[in-house]
Amino acid sequence: MTSAAPGDRRAAVVIEDDLDIRNLVSAVLEQGGFAVSGATTGREGVDVVRRQHPLVVTLDIGLPDIDGYEVLRRIRNTTDCYVIVLSGHSDEMDILTALQAGADDYVLKPFRPRELRARIDAMLRRPRIGQNAQHPPVQPAAPTPSAPSDASDASGPTKPADVLRNGGVTVDGDARIARCAGVELPLTKTEFNLLYELMRGNGAVRTKDDLVRVSRGPDYRGYNFVSRTDERAIEVHIANLRQKLARFDAAELITTVRGVGFRVMPGTRD
């Protein structure tokens, strides 16, 4: 195992039995300012994660001792750190299993080091909310208001509320809250962004490429290439979103346009 004292730097753990790949991933993370520890087996990786409390973990699925998905589940029992699965398997079930087990991203081997770095940077910009979170993101300070908060003293026009409605589904873009039949939906950041984009289209088709870029966010600085793995990840997110809508008999809100992408039926909008 290769280890490093975290000091003032953020900690990362690379769980990978292939020495060359482990060294490559470690180099990418070190360039990003991380103090990196390595592990060659699943059991060792879980132990290192418990001791190091890392911000980021990269996890190989094909480990020599225990299944990588089991390693992911054990990690998720103790920490809400960011986890990127690195795998040579592109089967849809492998991707779905990893995401449902708690992975934040799924990257196919062989990968481009610059793209892996960009994915890590994009991932760190996502807010991590969870009771076991070891590293809550630092929120930027709110800007000092330049005008009185009293609406009666405001000199400019009031910004209209960014609220979208479709049947019983309401999406508030400003508050980032989605409700169905008046009940707030427990959506992840990606699920909310996808639902908002589809609702905003009001019936227009959004391709999988479009939705991949929505999930990456406007600050993504990696390659613009969209892989089949990225598209499958969107399919998984949409499936999870439909499951949550189905609790309120609203799963049919999102329809599949075969061979293209997804859309919602046109509804009422603010």
Domain endpoint, select from 124, 140, 169? 124
Q: Is 130 exposed, middle or buried (CB count within 10 Å of its CB: 0-12, 13-18, 19+)?
A: exposed
Report the domain count for the chain.
Answer: 2
Residue 108: strand pairing partners:
87
138 within domain boundaries: no
pTM: 0.52
269 within domain boundaries: no
Residue 223 has pLDDT above 60, yes or no: no
CA distance 264 to 256: 9
Q: How many CB atoms lie within 10 A of CB 150?
A: 7
2 within domain boundaries: no
pLDDT value, residue 148:
39
Same domain, 235 and 180: yes
Domain endpoint, select from 124, 147, 173? 124
137 within domain boundaries: no
Q: Is 258 exposed, middle or buried (CB count within 10 Å of its CB: 0-12, 13-18, 19+)?
A: exposed
Q: Which residue has the higher pLDDT, 50 or 129?
A: 50
Q: What is the pLDDT averaged over residues 80-92?
A: 88
Instruction: Write the pLDDT tens digit of every residue in 141-194.
Output: 344 343 333 433 444 444 456 889 988 899 998 889 999 988 999 888 888 999
- DSSP for 250-262 reads -GGGEEEETTTEE
Same domain, 179 and 237: yes
- DSSP for 39-98 reads ESSHHHHHHHHHHH--SEEEEES--SSS-HHHHHHHHHTT---EEEEEES---HHHHHHH
CATH number of the domain within which 61 lies:
3.40.50.2300
Q: How many CB atoms lie within 10 A of CB 154?
A: 11
Instruction: Write the pLDDT tens digit of every residue in 21-66.
Output: 999 999 999 998 999 999 999 999 999 999 999 999 999 988 989 8
Same domain, 188 and 115: no
Residue 258: domain span? 161-264
pLDDT value, residue 121:
87
φ/ψ region of 249 (left if φ > 0, alpha if ψ in -120 to 50, else beta) reads: left
Confidence bin at 221 (pLDDT 50/70/90): low
Same domain, 86 and 190: no
Same domain, 22 and 106: yes
Same domain, 93 and 169: no
270 within domain boundaries: no
- DSSP for the chain reads ------TTSEEEEEE-S-HHHHHHHHHHHHHTTEEEEEESSHHHHHHHHHHH--SEEEEES--SSS-HHHHHHHHHTT---EEEEEES---HHHHHHHHHTT-SEEEESS--HHHHHHHHHHHHTS----TT-SSPPPPPPPPPPSS-SSGGG--SPPPPP-EEEETTEEEETTTTEEEETTEE----HHHHHHHHHHHHHTT--EEHHHHHHHHH-TT--S-----HHHHHHHHHHHHHHHHHHHTTT-GGGEEEETTTEEEE----B-
Percent of the chain with pLDDT over 70: 79
